[in-house]
Amino acid sequence: MAAEGYVDVPGGRVWYRRMGEGGIPLLCLHGGPGFTHFYLERLEDLAGQREVIFYDQLGCGNSDRPDDNSLWTVDRFVEELALVREALQLQRLHLFGNSWGGMLAMQYVLDRKPDLESLILCGSPASIPRWIRECAELLAAQPESVQQTIRRHEQSGFTACPEYQCAILGFYKQHVCRLDPWPKGLERSFAEAGYQVYNYMNGPSEFTVVGTIKDWDVSDRLDQIRVPTLLIGGRYDECRPAHLEDMQRRIKDSQLVIIEDASHLCFAEQPQEFLRNVNAFLRQVEPGVPG
């Protein structure tokens, strides 16, 4: 049985869903910013061994969507995470974050020094400037006509145009999700995303980050993380393996898994391998969890 409800946070209410029971809970942070929990649906398979909790961050999905750009700051999202944890009485906790969700998790760990059982970072960069450089390299491998279409539309501000959306799709199908067709949860996340949040903090696309997080970088603080940490990503992830390898070297005693034939949503593309590695990590940090 799943339980749903709302938590009051600065700016409105956020929606949550709890499922499974037993073990130490796993709280899952979605990407974006503003991309909803729906695309994380394969993580529900972890609920056979523990409680798994999802929530839509303010501004997207089932949560409130206030029209106030002053709310879209990293610090406010950190406070939101802290309040969700407090309201749900998650004294012991494993924390999972994908993409922006992992960035949020890192900021929370570094700034709040919370008591956590473990931290799982999936396709999450520690440096947006590095992400921008490396995504530019990946984009350069796309056909020249595609690159020109993308540049022309972004310079004109016409990123809602179908021609632009068609041009970026090839990049997404190589480096975001390589499944065909895409999972329904991913499609629903695109449909119900909070684009005001995404455009303000990120920008028009995965590889064009011009919003307020464009200078976000915690690379030099990673050695302050003192939580058992698993870094996991796909071979073709836009958060490239070399980036995750560097993070693994900086986070003391952390572990790294690169999943072959997968990209940014490796948990959807190769679910069995992903679940096997995550469950092995959780068994290691939480003795007594069944295999």
Find the catalytic residue in 30, 153, 243, 264. Answer: 264
Residue that is written with structure tokens 């028009």 in the block: 204
Whether omega for the bond prior to residue 181 falls within 30 degrees of 0, making it cis, is: yes
User: Can 99 be counted among the known catalytic residues?
Assistant: yes
Q: Taking CA 238 as the corner, what is the angle to CA 56 and CA 35, rounded to the nearest 5 degrees?
A: 15
User: Can 30 be counted among the known catalytic residues?
Assistant: no
State how far the Cα of 89 lies from the Cα of 9, in Å rounded to an integer.
Answer: 15
Find the catalytic residue in 99, 124, 189, 263. Answer: 99
Find the catalytic residue in 237, 243, 254, 263. Answer: 237
3-state helix, strand, coil in the chain (%, to 5): 45, 15, 40
276 neighbors 250 (Cβ within 8 angstroms): no
DSSP state, residue 83:
H
105 neighbors 86 (Cβ within 8 angstroms): no
**Alpha carbon distances (Å) from 114 to 41, 69, 109, 118:** 26, 28, 6, 11
Nearest to 4 by CA among 47, 38, 54, 57: 54
Residues in the chain, total: 291
Alpha-helical segments (H) within 94-156: 100-112, 128-139, 144-156
User: Can 243 be counted among the known catalytic residues?
Assistant: no
Residues classed as catalytic = 99, 237, 264
